[in-house]
Structure 1
Amino acid sequence: MLCKQFGKGNAMSPYPQPLKHLIRAAAFCLCALILAGTCRAEPLTVGFLASGGGLGDQSYNDMTWLGLAKAREKFGIRLFFSEAKENDVSRQAALDRLLASGATVVVCNGAGFLPVVKQVATERPEIYFIINDHLVTGYDNIVSTTFANHEGAFLAGVLAGSMTRSQRIGFIGGVHMCAIDSFRLGFTEGVGYANPKAKVISRFIAEAGNYGGFSNPNAGYAIASALYEQDADIIFAVAGLSGNGIIQAARTHKRYVIGVDADQDHMARGLILTSMVKRLDRASLMEVKKILDHRFQPGESTYNLANGGVTLSTMRYTREIIPEAVHEQLKRVESKIVAGELTVTRCREVTP
């Protein structure tokens, strides 16, 4: 009724003409706010909280930033970036910088930021948190994107099992933790599905709790070189920035490697069989859009093979060296996973 009353322009109005126009304008904005929920004084301010080598890793962090940059382009959000070292003091300082910049949405990757994020989420319920790749429950202002890493890794394993000649395949994880074990389990099962004779040799750069394993390319290079010298002919690198060292080892030894998170195929053309792409860009964009559309849902938001959340790269530099029968098998296996006809083991950890 308020909108109609002020919209009629009643000739008997007691207000002076200029004042009447101001009142009409105010009422119009109020109606738009109530009905559409889009009357926003300032653009949404989003902060990206990064560790594990920060931007430039051509992997985990860069994929997230790509999605946030797309959100800035499409929706006009304000976007800030803050990098932290691998300790809680640095992480808290990085988060404080984002909040001081006016961020009302904070995006971070993985479990390393959880102690500081959970504290601030409790103290500042008006701040939204998007935690990529680690499930947190029990907070009204935290959404966790989870990725079916095991499904994408299974496909990578099918490819590796089909292409190995030595029957020895390596897996290198950045940190020995549940999120990385999902890759390892899916990959190992995929190798066995395609080639029961092949053996997967697993190594980890760091043990659980030491997230520096994701930002140590020298260690990645050393471990990968040792595996290649032990006759592994393919290595799946799931190690963030450390994976760059693994890819360098593939170039040195002229052996195959499989990338992760982003499409890394260009980093060693013809030697990266494929990359298991985790669409952190898509997830970050979609979760920010939900906030803009007032559709924020705390808890878990799942990205998998069925909705394009994980996928293999297009193999643009290796497609011709992979037999067509293998490409066809990959399509069949993907269809079976999406249809629920093939179940892949995953490691699932929930943080209350």
Structure 2
Amino acid sequence: MKTLILTLALGLFSGTPAFASDSISADQSSEWQREDHLFDAFRSNAPHFWNWLKSQHSLVLNPSGVVVGDPHILNFSDVQLATQGREFALIDLDDGGANAPLAGDLIRYAAGNQVSPYQISLNKIFDAYVQGLKGLQMSEPQVLSDALSYSDADYLERQSQYMDKMTKQNRFSAKADVKPLSHAPASVQELFNQARGYFEASMPGYQILDTGYKIKKSGGSSGLPRYWYLIQRNQTRYIMEFKLEVDAATSFYSYQGTPVERFPPVAEIYRPAGTVYGPYKIVATPAGQFLMRARLKPYLDFEDEGNIEDGRQMSLYIANRLGLWHGQQTQSGDLLKVLRYPEFEQLVITYVRLMKKENY
């Protein structure tokens, strides 16, 4: 097997406590953000959900633990390991926390599925989740088995092709959709200037070929700056992203701590146990805390509305895996005692109706 050479992450999480930034706030809002499509709106409004959930009164919300915070089909994928092979895992830890209702994950996941292109019945989601909670794992859908079956050489070739698409003559290409920092708003430039030294200290021995930034207009983490570096060592190039982290959506339900505090317990359950290919860690700077990660191309990707039947099968599988992950936790037995389908269904339907009311 070809040696995997992304070795920037000396530990999963590192850094010193962050300082407050005068330019861009780390606070999220629970106010509804409208989007053209309801699934995009769902993705943009995780804080709204957890704030709403706090107003609900139910015994099913008492069992708590480590939650994903924003579980949906686009936040899970195949993750390459540094040794060999890939695992199915969570790829977005932004809204997770160590002290929130386990059922909150299930309710949010089901509500999101109902407004996604891959809608399946609520009773199937519930049954798959409960089976997982009891320790019973479903078989992998074929689309996932295929994604995990490629060799490490295949994966490296896929990343090489991705790099060729995203770059041109050692600069970011138009397809990367990265803007020059000189074109950024003053607040984004100031944030970068405060954090830059910390970013670059996290990439020792690498030549910096290009830099830029991007800000998503909709979906998860919309409005937050992401700083991109094109770097090179030994004729091999990589793209590194530093994404500003803000308060977790779950913090609208209960206190979750800073990113460097809340990421480790979430990663312990929902990320691979082994070292992954490329860095995935928090970098703390005077401007705030940033998630440092390599931009890679997984095999499993439903961002652009993949095959509908594959998406439905994966949606059911994720419900089951969510139950399995929750089932590892101390209060999972308590959840099984109080979790009932009629109440679950009513909570999901109530929130879906609220989303439609808020968005249209």
| Category of TM-score, reference length = shorter chain | under 0.3
Asked which structure has the greater CA Rg, the reply is 1
Q: More relative contact order in 1 or in 2 (CA 8 Å, sep 6+)?
A: 2
TM-score after normalising by structure 2: 0.26
